[in-house]
Amino acid sequence: MTSTGLAGVGTALITPFQQGGAVDEAALRALVDWQLAEGVHFLVPCGSTGEAATLTPEEHRRVVEVVVEQVDGRVPVVAGAGSNDTRKAIATSRDMAAVGATHLLHTSPMYSKPPQRGIEAHFRAIAEAVDLPIVVYNVPGRTASNVEAKTTLALAEVPSIVAVKEASGNLAQITDILMARPEGFAVLSGDDELTLNVMVGGGEGVVSVVSNAAPRPLVELVEAAARGDFATARERHAALLPLMRAAFSESNPIPIKAAMSMLGRCENVLRLPLVPLADAHVAGLRSALERAGAFA
């Protein structure tokens, strides 16, 4: 592991809801226990997969609090705290620190589309205001704002900015970061399908959507890659690839919520404007879960 303690598989946790829409704390606690029993290395509540955009501040705080309680110090808890309002991002970060998160996950500011110097200033302001290690989350498909390699590398020089979750899909950009990053700065794939590629290039692991439903196979993929056993890693990747693709047949977390319902882990309940998976994708998702060994 890197000095940040962030390496391997970090599951971008779904937020289970009951029929009617309330957070299902019992299902969330059971999910945390299962993830850790399957070998996941850290947990990431209240990100995009956790439907953080539709949680109230009180719900957001409570979800992270429940995860922290259930983890009980066994693995890091990287709490989503992003906002395009820097003041709100700082306030949410302080809430996450207060309930025991070990790290913070911050997207580049969505919607506002700041220039690179604005993105850098945003992250520096958070780092100065909050005493927790920060993971930069670059997901231009959602934020409409790419964090360029040179910006990530500038932020990597800030002592409390310890990792990047790279979901740009741009392997050239990710390689530039891998080649020039300072010692101890972790590079984590933000795309399940690119995990193997990123690790071949020297990355530390993945913040994963599919590990909600198939944690053990993804752990086996990442641990094999980390020890240089790329034959095993490729086998696991091949078995997981249909699920990696099915999990994005519609906007995340629509498919993974359906998958978790198929596995009996939660109700298939999302908050508007997200809606349940279209019928046309259900059979393909079930087949992908079977191929991944998720029903075993």
Q: Give the DSSP H or E segment for 150.
A: helix 149-155
Per the annotation, the verdict on 165 as an active-site residue is yes
SS (H, E, C) 165-203: EECCCCHHHHHHHHHHCCCCCEEEECCHHHHHHHHHCCC
DSSP-derived secondary structure letter, 46:
S
Q: Which residue in 88, 111, 113, 137 is the catalytic one? A: 137
User: To 10 degrees, what angle do helices 254-262 and 230-246 make?
Assistant: 100
Residue with tokens 């009980």: 72
φ and ψ at residue 134, rounded to 5 degrees? -120, 140
3-state secondary structure of 105: strand
Six token digits for residue 273: 């404007």
Six token digits for residue 205: 């692991």
Q: Are 276 and 254 in contact (CB under 8 A)?
A: yes
Q: Which residue in 111, 150, 165, 257 is the catalytic one? A: 165
Six token digits for residue 142: 């959602």
Residue with tokens 């641990």: 223
Give the catalytic positions in this structure.
Answer: 137, 165
